[in-house]
Structure 1
Amino acid sequence: MVAKHIKSLLYDHDCVIIPEFGGLITRYVSAKINPVKHSFAPPSKKIAFNEKLVLNDGLLISTIAYQNNISKEEAQQLVTSFVQQAKTTLHAENRFELQEIGVFRYNPEHKLEFEYVEGENLLDASFGLPELVARPVRVEEPAVLRTLIKERQQEHAKEKQPLRKRLKRAYNVAAGLALAGLTGSALYFLSLQADYNLSSLNPIMLVNASYTSSNTGDITRYASGYVPVTGEERVATYAAILPQEATAVVLEQQQPALEEQTFLTADSASASLVFMPEEQQNEEVKEEVVVPVKEVKPAEPVLTINEKSGRSYIIIGGYSTTENAAVRRDAARTAGHDSKMLTPGPNSKLYRVSVADFATADEAKAVLNNYKKSFGETIWVLNY
């Protein structure tokens, strides 16, 4: 059971420490080509072992306790039993296999060595990518070769057209351009003549003109029985209906009213321009003085702790490289946490990533359970 949890932790962490036994460290391996097998392998992780990393960082024990819903004391007992069994097997058989990870042996100097066994790809970015095998091109494919040769021959035939065909094509293009130019020039010169209308060339206009000329003769004729009224009869009829004296009186009464209205309109316009308060006329326009405001740049956040600060940090993971730790730190800061990266101390080689820091360890432990909801049971407090 412990071996299964160790393998699952190697997917997400660069270092998994087995207390009192050693630490398994992963490193990135780029994609590679096998010239013998003609295969392409995706990027992956390789695992190495360091028997000096025996200090318990709480990662393995906390994971086992959380996944199996047991206490940390029981999880620690399981890990201790696993380590004792591994050491007993090594002393008896000089070989201990960690399933799907690697094999441990003692060398002649009685130092523990580790041999990685390639199995599942532990790199999350390459999950599900198989090893691709390139099939060599076979010469025994005449159908494909005939098709390629035929296409190339057609391309060469198009490129090497006879000179007569090319001249004929150029002649047709030049003749079309010349005909279009002559037509345009003829229309232009016809438009310059004053007594010639280009619209007469439109057949629809000719039909409309003939139809209009045939129907305009009956428009000016009077109906049968109509007698036109002369001008003298029209004046006499108006004089009988409205006498001239009444018309003159009405015009004289309306004239003063029109003049008064015009005069008032002009006076009101001039009054709006002339009568202005003296205070407003003498008021001076004061220019506003713009005071430049100095921009205050916000203080840049502290992202890396390079020396001991005496504060307590809530650690969410440890990484063997600066790049992996920086990626984890930036992801936590994007989620809204004050995440920082702690450089390795004198007895450590891991870059640790925190999500919060406090003045004392008691303050950090008081809020530790709140962060476990987001980062799991493997987080712990470090006095740095």
Structure 2
Amino acid sequence: MVEKHIKSLLYDHDCVIIPDFGGLIARYVPARINPVKHTFSPPSKKIAFNEKLVLNDGLLISTIAHHDHITKDEAQQRVAEFVHNAKTNLHAEKRFELRDIGVFRYNAERRLVFEYAEAENMLEASFGLPELSARPVKVEEPAVLRTLIKERQQELVEERQPLRRRIKRAYNVAAGLALAGLSVSAFYFLSLQADYNLSSLNPMTVFTAAGYTAPATVEPNRYTQDYVPFTEEDRLSYYATILPEASQNANEVANAYEPSGASVALGAAADDFVTEEVAEETVGAVEDVEPEAPAHIIYTKDGRSYIISGGYARLENAEQYRTTLMEQGHEEVDILLPQPGSRLFRVALADFPTAEEAQVALNTYREKFGETLWVLNN
């Protein structure tokens, strides 16, 4: 009976004190949205418990005496019996249930704890308001509108296709004309330069420029019926008639181009020409020799331990960082090429024969260059 009166009082009051037990406090809870269940809950009251509110304010006893038509002493006796039963259940079963309101328990520190059971909404302003479920709203277009949109999209696609085809055809024609024009222009300029190039590459122009004339010998016609090839003696005698005159004409050409007017023999000129070719080949061979690798770049494993300051993906960046360190006064800075499995060019501040010596010196370098330094065993 006492439980029924406590529940009815919680509808109208924010605090109901149970003498020698504690006080039930009702507080306002606004409307809530559950993002998981997609529900809307109306405003309500949530009941809490404070075991320090044990002073009798007379509310509960007066209500019981008025509704049950008994005296206040009898009502107080009923409340005392209710509190005694509640404490007995707590000591025996470690829990006491206040029907439709909540459950009382003892925690690990032997303090009374109350768990509110949300059975009914005790807020009068929310009487009759249920919990609402929210469903996603799907906006659907009318069937006629969907049909019109689909037809319009097909028309746009059909209009775009001929335009794209015309643009592609015009592009192909323009590219073909441009390629043909470039080809014709290239052949035209090559035809203009053909005579000059061929004449500059012809070695016989040296003799013809000096007024050289071939000996008056009749060359055999290879297309006649009585044609007989030259014998070895005929070929040697023919060369003997040509070479003296060629040597004389070459001397005249050399005399014409010498500023001092001194004559140079054709044989000497040939020797000089051969000497110049050999010299040019020697110079080219010297130029083909690859320069020695810089001393600060480590190409291979040498078994030493290096203190690494940074790693870079490009050699140019590593060289710039090395230059910066040298400008700061650090003279010995090496660059290690990427090892197998790595693509970084590492910049080393110092190197040591063993890893132990490098680890000992690492702390000294970290005081100057920072804590990011580390030791690499090459």
Q: State whether TM-score is above 0.5.
A: no
Q: Name the TM-score class by shorter chain.
A: 0.3 to 0.5
TM-score when normalising by structure 2 = 0.38
Q: Which has the larger radius of gyration?
A: 2
Identify which of structures 1 and 2 has the higher relative contact order when contacts are C-alpha pairs closer than 8 Å and 6+ apart: 1
